[in-house]
Amino acid sequence: MKKLFVLLFSSFILLGATAQVEKGNLLIKNGTVITITKGNLEQTDVLIKDGKITQIGKNIATPAGVKVIDASGQFVMPGIIDAHSHIALDGINEGSNPITPEVSESDVINPFQIGIYRALGGGITTVHAMHGSANAIGGQCETIKLRYGTFDPEVLKMDGAPRTIKFALGENPTRSHGEGSGIVPRTRMGVEFVIRQAFSEAKEYTEKWNQYNKAKLVKGFRGAPPTYSYRHEVLSDILNDKIIVHCHSYRADEIYMMLKVCKDFGIKRIVFQHVNEGFKVAPELAAQGAMASVFSDWWAYKFEVYYSTAYNAAILSKNGVVTSINSDDGEMMRHLYHEAGKTQKYGGLNDEEALALITINPAKQLGIDGRVGSLEVGKEADIAIFKNHPLSIYGVPMFTIVDGVVRFDREKDPDDMRLVVDPKQAIETATFRDKLSNQDHCMEGAEFILDSELFNANKK
């Protein structure tokens, strides 16, 4: 065991030093391959070369030097994708301002959080590492692959994945800014107002630059350029559909409001997050091509999430909304396959529909479905191998593979998987519990506002 750990650890160091994404070769033999998009294939092999799936079929010959995993009697499925998470980040909310699109989680990736390895233990391979929900327009998020072992935050990023950004409606922005700081937005109307105002300013900003750039082409032009604003640059990118909006929301009225805002400003790519009342506006969401990422059955943790149902995911799916089930939580993330399974009891989704909620659908919501989310030749080899069917209550992830590299192996699962150790930490407190369990991370980092005198006074 110890030897293996040393071996693992030293390979991590090598990887960190080169700062390049490690890609593996692998042959997974004789499993039940759940492709998601092309049905199930019994006793089938999957061949991986240089991090990509190159062949799916029966009796594939083992290329020289390629490691083989015998998956006889096991289930081989695409790595699970969590469209809403806050792991691997140093900082979740820039809660000081209701509009902060210029901040980006890509600047504060933390590849050392033990939660990354724990998520691998639940068959997760890709995570949408999001800004929190304190602000109406929050920060940009980062789609990461769980290449745990690297020392380089850049290596965790899924290179080429579309940019995404967090928006938030309802109680979180109103209590952070309205109640906490005494500024707009104090109400749902205020939230709509600050979003519309930001977009309008961005349009003006873009217009000014367009005028300036046009004027500059004229010979002999003399004039001052508009002042550079990072915030308005990013807002313009949203308006130009260069960034997918992921909007924290619960109530049908605010979801409908946001659909109208998108229409008015020509925003085409939006995914609603949580969407507890999504079932009330499912046809409207489908008509506008908006997507939904929901909890299976989690609600009533605050006033705006009382009107909820476990049928939400099924109703949305049956209405043609691309729907995913997310965790928003380091613990729930480890059994998203159970969460997906609940849609079979509540809504009667079939296996393929239920598993799509945690594979190809979240991939679509992140704009990476061309690369991951199903098992197809040419896709990236992000794979989870289960003992027993993943939707069975007896399903257990055995291997988790990212880019053809085994990142989790239940048989070889050392006790201490920390990559870095704090030399000042007392042994007594060196437990592996980090802050990633059982908390509302959507508001992490905004507590200082919620503790303010004004906020408490308003509460009375």
Partner 1 sequence: MVEKRFIQQTASGIVVLLVCSCSLLAQDEKELKPVTRTYAITNVNVVQAPGKKLDMATVVVRDGLIIAVGKGISIPLDAVVIKADSMYLYAGFIDGLSRAGVTKPKEEANREKIKDPGNPPPDRAGITPQNDVRNSLNASDKSIEDLRNVGFTVAQIVPYGNLLPGQGSIVLMGGKSADQMVLVSNSALYSELSGANGVYPNTTMAVIAKWRELYRQASQAKSYQSLYASNRAGLERPGNDRVLEAFYPVIDQRIPVLFKSEKMLDAHRILMLRNDLGFSLMLADLKEGWPVANKIKASGIKVFLSLDLPEEVKKDDKKSDNKSNKKADSIKAKEVAKPKTAADLEKDALEKRKAEAIANYTSQASVFNKAGVSFGFSSLSAKPKDIPANLRRMIAAGLSEDAALAALTTTPAQLLGLSDRMGTVENGKMANLIISDKSYFNEKAKVRYVFVDGVMYKQEVKEEKKSDPNAKVDIEGSWSTVTQTPQGSNDGKVIFKKDGSGYKGTISGGRMPAPADLISVTLEGNKLSYTYSLSFGGNTIKVEVEATVEGDSFKGNATVGPRGSFSIEGTKNPKN
Site of interaction with partner 1 (CB under 8 A): 13, 16-17, 19, 90-91, 93-100, 102-105, 107-108, 110, 112, 139, 151-154, 177, 181-183, 222-225, 227-231, 415-416, 418, 420-425, 427, 430, 445, 448-449
Please state the closest distance from residue 107 (CB atom) to partner 1, in A.
4
Could you give the C-alpha distances from 450 to 176, 181, 241, 443, 446, in angstroms and in order?
6, 9, 33, 9, 7
Contact at 8 Å (CB) between 151 and 419? yes
Nearer to partner 1, 137 or 383 (CB): 137
Q: Whose CA is closest to 326, among 300, 369, 365?
A: 365
Nearer to partner 1, 59 or 227 (CB): 227
Nearer to partner 1, 53 or 442 (CB): 442
Nearer to partner 1, 19 or 300 (CB): 19
Q: Whose CA is closest to 83, among 436, 437, 356, 362?
A: 362
At 365, list the tokens.
């919501």
Please state the closest distance from residue 382 (CB atom) to partner 1, in A.
24
Instruction: Classify the phi-psi angles of 402: left when phi > 0, otherwise alpha if psi is within -120 to 50, otherwise beta.
Output: beta
Could you give the C-alpha distances from 55 to 34, 363, 379, 426, in angstroms and in order?
14, 21, 10, 50
Contact at 8 Å (CB) between 400 and 408? yes
In three-state secondary structure terms, 78 is: strand
Instruction: Classify the phi-psi angles of 88: left when phi > 0, otherwise alpha if psi is within -120 to 50, otherwise beta.
Output: left
Report the length, in residues, of the chain. 460
Q: How far apart are CA 327 and CA 133, in angstroms?
A: 15
Q: How far apart are CA 222 and CA 170, in angstroms?
A: 47
Q: Whose CA is closest to 355, among 378, 371, 373?
A: 373
Nearer to partner 1, 49 or 208 (CB): 208
Nearer to partner 1, 166 or 248 (CB): 166
Contact at 8 Å (CB) between 240 and 232? no
Pairing of strands 291-294, 163-168: unpaired
Nearer to partner 1, 72 or 227 (CB): 227
Nearer to partner 1, 108 or 315 (CB): 108
Please state the closest distance from residue 401 (CB atom) to partner 1, in A.
25
Please state the closest distance from residue 408 (CB atom) to partner 1, in A.
20
Please state the closest distance from residue 52 (CB atom) to partner 1, in A.
27
Write the DSSP assignment of 315-344 as a string of letters: HHHHTT--EEE--SSTTGGGGHHHHHHHHH
Q: How far apart are CA 93 and CA 111, in angstroms?
A: 18
Please state the closest distance from residue 410 (CB atom) to partner 1, in A.
20
Please state the closest distance from residue 424 (CB atom) to partner 1, in A.
5
Please state the closest distance from residue 134 (CB atom) to partner 1, in A.
10
Amino acid at 196: R
**Which strand (E) or helix (H) includes residue 85?**
strand 80-85
Burial of 225 (0-12, 13-18, 19+ CB in 10 A): exposed
Please state the closest distance from residue 94 (CB atom) to partner 1, in A.
4
Contact at 8 Å (CB) between 98 and 448? no
Please state the closest distance from residue 70 (CB atom) to partner 1, in A.
31
Q: Whose CA is closest to 167, among 280, 296, 259?
A: 259
Nearer to partner 1, 98 or 390 (CB): 98
Please state the closest distance from residue 417 (CB atom) to partner 1, in A.
11
Nearer to partner 1, 152 or 352 (CB): 152
Amino acid at 446: A
The residue to which tokens 């000081």 are assigned: 96
Nearer to partner 1, 287 or 430 (CB): 430
